[in-house]
Amino acid sequence: MKAKTIVGWTEKTFDKKLNAFLSNTSLEIIDVKFSSPIFFYSALILYK
Domain extent, residue 15, equals 2-47
Reading the chain (48 residues) residue by residue, the pLDDT tens digits are: 999 999 999 999 999 999 999 998 899 999 999 999 889 999 999 999
Write a three-state SS string for 7-28: EECCHHHHHHHHHHHHCCCCCC
pLDDT score at 38: 86
Distance CA 13, CA 25 (A): 21
Count of structural domains, the chain: 1
Supply the pLDDT for residue 12: 96
For residue 24, the model assigns a pLDDT of 87
Provide the pLDDT for residue 37: 86
